Amino acid sequence: MPAKPKKIPMRMCVGCREMKPKAELIRVVRSPEGTVSLDPVGKKPGRGAYVCRSNACLARAIKQKQLERQLETSLGEETAAALRDTLAALTEEAKAHG
């Protein structure tokens, strides 16, 4: 009996609105306490939204208030800046290891 092809979970980027494999996206999560942060592992509890691992998509998601809508919370400027900084750090880390 042939092995069933493994199903790849797909998610939509809230920045560019494209469906992509979940592994290619990064999760932004609003914790039960209300703090918003990036969740590179995808295991933090709370309400999540997915965004491409590009600064352009994150910037667009913030600018168009898509993240606020998805996470049902308002993002302050410092939270938005923290998300951008974290994404930049993760991108640099990936380049260093890649």
* CB 86 within 8 Å of CB 38: yes
Task: Give the pLDDT of residue 1.
Answer: 66
Residue range 52-77, pLDDT digits in tens: 999 999 999 999 999 999 999 999 99
In a domain, 3, yes or no: no
Boundaries of domain holding 77: 10-97
In a domain, 4, yes or no: no
CA dist., res. 37 & res. 27, Å (int): 9
Q: How confident is the model at residue 4 (pLDDT cuts 50, 70, 90)?
A: confident
pTM of the model: 0.88
In a domain, 2, yes or no: no
State the average pLDDT over residues 6-12: 93
Q: How confident is the model at residue 91 (pLDDT cuts 50, 70, 90)?
A: confident
Per the structure, the count of domains in the chain is: 1
CATH number, domain of 93, equals 3.30.1230.10
In a domain, 30, yes or no: yes
Distances from the Cα of 30 to the Cα of 1, 3, 38, 57, angstroms: 43, 38, 9, 18
- Name the residue with higher pLDDT: 97 or 24: 24
In a domain, 41, yes or no: yes
H/E stretch holding 81 reads helix 77-97
In a domain, 5, yes or no: no
In a domain, 1, yes or no: no
Q: Reply yes or no on whether the pLDDT at 2 is more than 80.
A: no
Torsion of CA 93, 41, 66, 24, to 10 degrees: 70
In a domain, 72, yes or no: yes
